[in-house]
Amino acid sequence: MKAEAIKLDGKKAGAVELDDAIFGLEPRADILHRVVRWQRAKAQAGTHSTLGKSDVSYSTKKIYRQKGTGGARHGSRKAPIFRHGGVYKGPQPRSHAHDLTKKFRALGLKHALSAKAKAGELVIIDAAVMDEVKTSALAKQVASLGWKRALIIDGASVNEGFARAARNLENLDILPSMGANVYDILRSDTLVLTKAAVEALEARLK
C-alpha cells in the first residue's frame, strides 16, 4: 500500500510504499489486549507490602486467661481480627511480569500499526528535523497539522535538536524505532512515522 508523505510545514514530500504484512493487517483486539496487558504488568512496580502476624510490633504476652472470662479464647493481640494486628495473606513485594513470546509481541506491534493505518491516524513525514530549534515554532507546526496527542517515531536515533524542541510539549512524544511499542501507539491520537522509521520498523518486523 502507498501513503503520501509530508514535511513538517505540511508540504508534500512524495509517496512511501508500506508493507501490507505490517501496515495492512485486519487489527485484532484480542492480540492487542494481550500485548498491552503484558506491557503494563511488566511496568508495574509490585512494591506493595503489608505486615503479617509475625511482623507487627506487639507484646507476645497472652491477653487474658484461657477460661472464665466469658469471651473467646485468644493468645495473641497480633491476630488479624484485632486492631493493629497483622494482615492475613496480605500483598507482598513481587513481580507482576508474565511471559509473552517474541513472535507474539512482534505480531502485536504489526496489528497496532495496522490499526492506526486503518483508522486514518497514521501520518508519514519526511524527517523529524527543524531548521529553527524552538519549542514555540514546533508547537505552531503541530497545531497547524491538527495533531492533538501525537507520537512521533523516528529511525535508529532521534534528532537531538528536535527532541529538545519537543521536550516541553505535553501533547507530543518522540521515540526511536526500537522504542516503538503497542501501548504508546494505541494511546496516541496520531501516529507519526518518519521515512527512516518506516524502513527501520519494516526491517525489524520482517
pTM of the model: 0.84
Which architecture, in CATH terms, is 2-45+97-205?
3-Layer(aba) Sandwich (3.40)
Per-residue model confidence (pLDDT) at position 192: 96
For CA atoms 197, 166, 35, 178, give the dihedral sign.
positive
**Integer Cα distance of 116 and 42 in angstroms:** 24
Mean pLDDT split into 10-residue runs, the chain, 206 residues: 88 90 96 98 96 91 92 92 94 96 97 96 93 90 92 93 92 94 96 95 93
Domain ranges of the chain: 2-45+97-205, 50-90
DSSP states of 71-109 as a string?
A: S---S-TTSTTSTTPPPTT------------HHHHHHHH
